Chains A and B, each alone.
Chain A
Amino acid sequence: DAMVIQNPRYQVTQFGKPVTLSCSQTLNHNVMYWYQQKSSQAPKLLFHYYDKDFNNEADTPDNFQSRRPNTSFCFLDIRSPGLGDAAMYLCATSRGKETQYFGPGTRLLVL
């Protein structure tokens, strides 16, 4: 089945230690998104790639970076995680501006 895959499902990192979250998709969608979702809150868009074009949201901290080496993969890099970065990170994909399909998420814990 075509799908959005996120690895790992759970990630524990130390305060200030760089961490990378991974997303891959078999839908062949040209747009990939990264959202941050804190407990009992709505998902918050961090940035997205429209094809190879990177689009950062205005209030996304510089600590968060992203890479998209090819159509299928997209990475979220947190350069120096703080305690406030503990959250669920959701990847989504879409064909152009059409419906977004989400992966299962990666729960990040910062110690």
Chain B
Amino acid sequence: GEDVEQSLFLSVREGDSSVINCTYTDSSSTYLYWYKQEPGAGLQLLTYIFSNMDMKQDQRLTVLLNKKDKHLSLRIADTQTGDSAIYFCAEREGQGNLIFGKGTKLSVKP
């Protein structure tokens, strides 16, 4: 079945760039998403990319998609302490359901 893999932890210093990586298995996925979850909160949609795109930029966020390798990344420029959270990668499968990765916990050190 479909699977989404992410590394579990990432630690960066404030002001550095963060890169969170994700791999997925369903080559027919049309959309791929990044959600952010702060402690005790719901999932906040950060950004998404359509499968026919290679890159999408939105202010400090850059999403790169390598469809051949089924690899997705989220780059956060000038990372701030407020960016500390868990970041979930998700692919949309054919029925519209989301397949989530286990989430990457980003820690930002001052």
Contact = CB atoms under 8 A, between A and B. Distances in A.
In this complex, the interface size class of chain B, counting residues with CB under 8 Å from chain A, is 20 to 34
Interface string A85-111: 000001010101111111111010000
B19 to A, nearest CB: 20
A45 interface: yes
A42 interface: yes
Contact of B43 (A40, A41, A90): A90
B98 A102 contact: no
Given A99-B33, A99-B48, A105-B42, A45 B98 contact: yes
Interface string B91-106: 0100111101111000
Contacts of A90: 42-43
In this complex, the interface size class of chain A, counting residues with CB under 8 Å from chain B, is 20 to 34
Contacts of B103: 40, 42
B10 interface: no
Interface of B: 31, 33, 35, 40-45, 48, 88, 92, 95-98, 100-103
11 contacts: A6-B42, A40-B103, A43-B43, A45-B97, A90-B43, A92-B43, A97-B95, A99-B33, A102-B35, A102-B43, A105-B40
